[in-house]
Each structure stands twice: as structure tokens, then as C-alpha cells.
Amino acid sequence: MSELVMPNDTNPQNNLMGGNMLRWMDIACAICAGKHCAKPVVTASVDNVAFGSPIRNGEVVTLEATVTRAFNTSLEVYVQATAATMQGMNPRRTHHAYFTFVALDKDNGSPVPVPEVVPLSEIEEQRFEAALRRRELRLVLAGRMKPANAANLKELFG
């Protein structure tokens, strides 16, 4: 998904506002998650957001979202933003983040199981494996998992 940064999207420094980037990321990830699940999805959380470098008014932002791992009723989506001029000059990676979505039953709105993800490439394998640790960390920080139950995090930190 691509967006052209317009004056109304920018801050007083003439750069894209972070909130607008998050909005575009949310949309790109929701499309990705919705396609994977073929169900309505809602954003449950956002983490590891990195605002790497500013994007100027008039530049083109391209967002690429991929499902890294499906859990039970939730799934994690990685989104990477790149920016370049309208003429394709100065292309660079600028922002990235992880979004968690929950699939909902279209009739009663309650969470429903999501289809699994099969990683194919090396980078997909790496993100798939690390997704368990990110999930535990976000659930612990959200107060939804006891640290004692975060087995993958314990493995990492000893």
C-alpha cells in the first residue's frame, strides 16, 4: 500500500507526523490480517514501533505487511515502511512495527481461531520463531500473562 505525504499529514518541521504513519500501518496490517483470516479483525496491540528516519512532505511511503505467526484467536503482523521521492530517488527503510490482531466471529463478535502460518523463507522462519517471545513479552506487559509462565522469555534471559 502506498501513500503520498501531503501538507496536512505533516508536523511543523514539514515531516510526516508519527500518528499518521501509525494510522497507515494499522490499515496495511488490518488488510493483511483480514485476508489471512477471511474474517473481521480488530487491532489488539501495537509494539516495537521504530521511527527510524523522517519522511518529507511530497514523498511516497510504501507499507508492506506480513503475518509472522498465528496463535489461537490472534495473529502477529510485521509492517515495514519505506520512503522515496515521487521520482523514486533516495529510497530507504524508515519505520517498522508489530501489530497484533484478533479475528472475530462476524455474527456474535467473539474471538475465533485463526488459520496457521507456514513460514517459507529464512527471514519468515526467524520472525516466526521470535514471535513467541514477542507475544509473551507483550502479554506480560499488558498484565495478561504471569512472568512465571513466559517460558520462551525465560529461555532467552535464563
| Residue 112 in grid coordinates | 475465533
- Of 2, 115, 136, 7, nearest in space to 67 by CA: 115
Stretch that binds ligand COA, among 71-79, 87-95, 123-131, 146-154 (CB under 6 A): 71-79
Q: How far is the CB of 113 from ligand COA (least distance, A)?
A: 8
Q: How far apart are CA 74 and CA 70, in angstroms?
A: 6
Instruction: Convert residues 126-145 into a mask of x (bound to ligand COA by CB under 6 A) and - (unbound).
Output: ------------xx--x-x-
Stretch that binds ligand COA, among 43-51, 55-63, 90-98, 124-132 (CB under 6 A): 43-51
| Residue 156 in grid coordinates | 532467552
Q: How far is the CB of 44 from ligand COA (least distance, A)?
A: 4
| Residue 123 in grid coordinates | 527471514
Residue 20 or residue 73: which is nearer to ligand COA going by CB?
Answer: 73
Q: Which of 48, 72, 85, 126 binds ligand COA (CB under 6 A)?
A: 72
By CB under 6 A, how many residues form the interface with ligand COA?
A: 15
Q: How far apart are CA 147 and CA 141, in angstroms?
A: 9
Instruction: Convert residues 2-41 into a mask of x (bound to ligand COA by CB under 6 A) and - (unbound).
Output: ----------------------------------------
Q: How far is the CB of 133 from ligand COA (least distance, A)?
A: 13
The secondary structure of 97-157 as a DSSP string is EEEEEEEB-TTT--B---------SHHHHHHHHHHHHHHHHHHHHTTSS-GGG-HHHHHHH
